[in-house]
Every structure is written in C-alpha cells, then in structure tokens.
C-alpha cells in the first residue's frame, strides 16, 4: 500500500470513528435532554433528526421516491469502492485526503443505516428563521472532500490531471 493510499484510508477510518463517536454521544445526550439543546441562541442548536433519505433528506419522504436504507447503503458502498480504486492511482496528497474524507463520511452514514435504518443528524445552524438542513460529522467530511476535489479539478495543472486519471 502506497503512502498516499495509507493517508487516504487512515483519514477515512478517522472520520468514520469521529463520526460514530459523536453520534453515539450526542444521541444519548439529546435523548436525555428531550431531543434538542440550544447551544448558541439564534444560530446553532443540537437536535435529533433521523434522515431516511440521501443528502438533505432527498428521496426519504413518504410515498413515491422513497429508497430503502439497504439501497442507499449499497450506493454509498459502491461509490466508496470506486473512490478507493481511484485512490490507488492518485499521485497527489490533496487528492488522497479529499478521497479519504468522502469515503470516511460515506462509511459513517452507512453504519448509521445498518444500526438504525436512518442517518442520525444533529447539527442545526439557523439565522433569522432560515435553517440549513441538519447534518453530522460524516456529512461535513463528504462536503469538504467533494469541495476539495472540485477545487483541485479547477486549479490543478492539466498534465497532473492526466496522471491521476
């Protein structure tokens, strides 16, 4: 295993562990405190949200378009495998770290679906009545990893893109 693969997979494992520890601790705390804790009034709360869909709850409501947890998990596992295969070919540290963030986040959310049938989200940011959809550590890692890959794809020299495939 190359140093970049070790870096990416080490980051993936760290993200999945931090994600699961934070979820288990906050799930217990929020259950004890009635499901919500105001942390910064008017800006940030810890809440209990069970996301049965994909990002921001899409495809998780009642009726048409509902996907079962096993199907969402299968897609996340397939994406993680594809990312791992890509990770084995890359030559840049930045890419390895970005892929590790996405894999770790995907695995963290797959674990939730296996344990609970839904993803536990808890971070609720809001301003003037506007709420960002609740999220968790895994979601944040996925967003950061994808953003890093997008930034890299825009700013990395063309010859280096051909090497990493």
Where in the sequence numbering do the catalytic residues fall? 121, 139
Phi/psi of residue 64, nearest 5 degrees? -65, 140
| Gap between the Cα atoms of 137 and 19, Å rounded | 5
Question: Which contacts qualify for 153-161: CB closer than 8 Å, 24 or more apart?
Answer: 156/92, 160/91, 160/92
Q: What's 132's DSSP letter? A: P
**Which residues lie below 8 Å from residue 80, measured CB to CB, with a gap of 6+?**
102, 103, 106, 107, 110
Share in percent of the chain as helix, strand, coil (round to 5): 60, 15, 25
Cβ distance 75 to 116 under 8 Å? no
């Amino acid at each position: 295993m190359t140093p970049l693969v070790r870096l990416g997979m080490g980051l993936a494992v760290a993200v999945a562990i931090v994600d699961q520890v934070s979820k288990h601790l906050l799930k217990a705390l929020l259950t004890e405190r009635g499901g919500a804790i105001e942390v910064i009034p008017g800006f940030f709360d810890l809440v209990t949200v069970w996301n049965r869909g994909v990002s921001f709850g899409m495809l998780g409501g009642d009726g048409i378009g509902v996907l079962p947890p096993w199907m969402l998990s299968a897609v996340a596992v397939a994406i993680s495998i594809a990312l791992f295969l890509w990770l084995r070919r890359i030559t840049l540290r930045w890419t390895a770290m970005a892929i590790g963030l996405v894999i770790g986040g995907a695995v963290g959310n797959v674990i939730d679906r296996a344990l609970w049938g839904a993803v536990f989200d808890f971070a609720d940011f809001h301003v003037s009545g506007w709420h960002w959809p609740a999220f968790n550590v895994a979601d944040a890692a996925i967003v950061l990893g994808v953003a890093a890959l997008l930034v890299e794809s825009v700013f990395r020299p063309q010859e280096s893109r051909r090497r990493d495939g």
